[in-house]
Amino acid sequence: MPPISRRSMLVQGTAATLAMPAIAQTASLKIGLMLPFSGTYAALGESIASAFDMRVKELGGKMAGRPVELIRVDDESDPAKAPSNVNRLLGREQVDALVGTVHSGVVMALVQASREQQVPLIIPNAGNAAATRELCAPSVFRSSFTNWQPAYGMGKVLAAKGVKKAAWVTWAYAAGKESGDGFADGLKSGGAELTKVLTVPFPETNFQPLLAQLPGLGVDAVGAFFAGGGAIQFVKDYAAAGLRDKLPLYGSGFLTEGVLKPQGAAAEGVQTALHYGDGIDNPKNIAFRAAFKSFSNRDADVYAVQGYDAAQMLDIGLSATKGNAGAIKDFAAAILAATIDSPRGPFTLSPSHNPVQTIWLREAKNGENRVIGVAAEKLADPGTGCTMT
Ligand code: BEZ
């Protein structure tokens, strides 16, 4: 008999006098969505949650034959509040599975809980490498990326363009640091060099002191990691400082993703690298974008794609275990064996449970992040230090 999840035991125990098969089919599957719904990453959290919800509705509101109940918690992108938010979902709410989050610091509390309590976790954004490197676990999966992946693609493209020296500008937390490492590795792969990293604390947006230093660095290009509200401000400030003509700006694709409207002319021509882009011409993507617009009245972006794919992955795992979220071994085997039919294009997971995916080169034009080439084909994160036990 497969292991029974904490919540399945509870449901079955409290209703022991009722017929078991009927309970198994009608008891809801509780899924905790821990995401930022306020602060600089609020729009990212909303996109993920809406697309997750849309996939659940496409499945008739059920996974593995059981009605799905979504419990939303606003994590505010605040690592200090993460442990109590996770405890609320696993304790008071008794969720069967966790989905979250956006911020690389906050996700660590989810990873720890998933490892300790054997609850499936699908990470629909946060790129913290540890989750699928040294802290990888059979219960932890990503529908997104590691911070290293898109930035590696960007660095590789710049080296091929003839850039010799570049700087990296970012927030001082795991996502900024790890994407800087990816950028450095990508540059190095083509004989170029990252010579300077400049940071501001997260989620600060006073970029002026940092921008003032850039012209004196002796670099040919500047790469950046910012996202959400901070990305809007940074791209506008960079243009307003008159830097665009002197030092071309590049980035992990989050720099211009989902924020082109408020960035306006300041973003025009900025090239970035990401595992999604506008104009990906496959039937799945075309259908997804139209459906998401009519479901949420929002334009699809990478965050929506990751939320949708998180729901697809959870459904695959739960269907294979007949809704028993505690059967981690079978849950993991099903997801690892699957090809996820994503709007970004089909992808599989690496042995450390991270998407192996093409990183596209995009250019911001007329309000779109148009795909203009391939930055890195079928790129896997190195998964260094991952041993599944
Ligand atoms: C992160 O913290 O991992 C992250 C946040 C926003 C966009 C991309 C990555």
Is residue 273 pLDDT above 50, yes or no?
yes
What does the pLDDT look like over 289-336, one tens digit per residue? 999 999 999 999 999 999 999 999 999 999 999 999 999 999 999 999
* Beta bridge pairs of residue 193: 165
How far is residue 9's CA from residue 232's CA, in Å, rounded to a whole number? 47
The Cβ-side half-sphere exposure at 250, using a 13 Å CA radius, reads 31
Q: Which atom of ligand 1 is nearest to the CA of 103?
A: 2
CB 236 within 8 A of CB 207: no
Give, using CA atoms, the residue closest to atom 7 of ligand 1.
Answer: 227
pLDDT at 24: 55
pLDDT category of residue 9 using cuts at 50, 70 and 90: very low
The CA distances from residue 320 to 64, 94, 326, in Å, are 8, 21, 12
Q: Chain-wide mean pLDDT for the chain?
A: 94
Main-chain dihedrals φ then ψ at residue 195, nearest 5 degrees: -105, -15
- Give the binding-site residues of ligand 1, using a 6 Å CB cut-off: 41, 102-104, 125-128, 147, 175, 227, 254
Our measurement of the distance from residue 339's CA atom to the centroid of its chain's CA atoms, rounded to an integer in Å, reads 18
Is it the case that residue 207 has pLDDT exceeding 80?
yes
Structure tokens at 325: 């979220």
Q: Which ligand 1 atom minimizes the distance to the CA of 128?
A: 3
Query: Between β-strands 368-379 and 355-365, what pairing exists: parallel, antiparallel or unpaired?
Result: antiparallel
Distance in angstroms (rounded) separating the CA atoms of residues 349 and 139: 13
Model confidence pLDDT, tens digit, residues 128-181: 999 999 999 999 999 999 999 999 999 999 999 999 999 999 999 999 999 999
Given a cut of 90, whether residue 267 has pLDDT beyond it is yes
Please report the atom of ligand 1 found closest to the CA of residue 126: 3
Q: Using an 8 Å Cβ cutoff, are 250 and 158 in contact? A: yes
pLDDT of residue 18: 34
Mutate to test the pocket of ligand 1, among 102, 144, 256, 259 (most ligand atoms within 8 A of CB): 102
> Residues 6 or more apart from 214 whose CB is under 8 A from it?
167, 169, 198, 222, 243, 247
Q: What pLDDT was estimated at residue 92? A: 96
CA gap 77, 42 in Å, rounded: 9
Residue 8: pLDDT band (50, 70, 90) is: very low
State in Å: Cα 17 to ligand 1 middle.
47
* Contact yes or no for 296/43 (Cβ under 8 A): no
pLDDT exceeds cutoff 80 at 3: no
Is the pLDDT score of 20 beyond 70?
no
Over 80: is that where the pLDDT of 6 sits?
A: no
Ramachandran area for residue 356 (φ above 0: left; ψ -120 to 50: alpha; else beta): beta
The answer to whether 146 touches 77, Cβ cutoff 8 Å, is: no
Closest atom of ligand 1 to CA, residue 173: 2
What pLDDT, in 10s, does the model give residues 28-37? 999 999 999 9
For the CA atoms of 169, 44, 254, 301, what is the dihedral angle to 10 degrees? -170
- Rounded to the nearest whole angstrom, what is the distance from the C-alpha of residue 100 to the centroid of ligand 1? 12
Output the pLDDT for position 389. Answer: 75
- What's the confidence (pLDDT) of residue 108? 98
**Residue % of the chain over a pLDDT of 90:** 93
Question: How far is 338 from 343, CA to CA, in rounded Å?
Answer: 15
Using most ligand atoms within 8 A of CB, pick from 40, 104, 181 the residue to mutate for ligand 1.
Answer: 104
**pLDDT recorded at residue 355:** 98
Mean local confidence (pLDDT), 357-364: 98
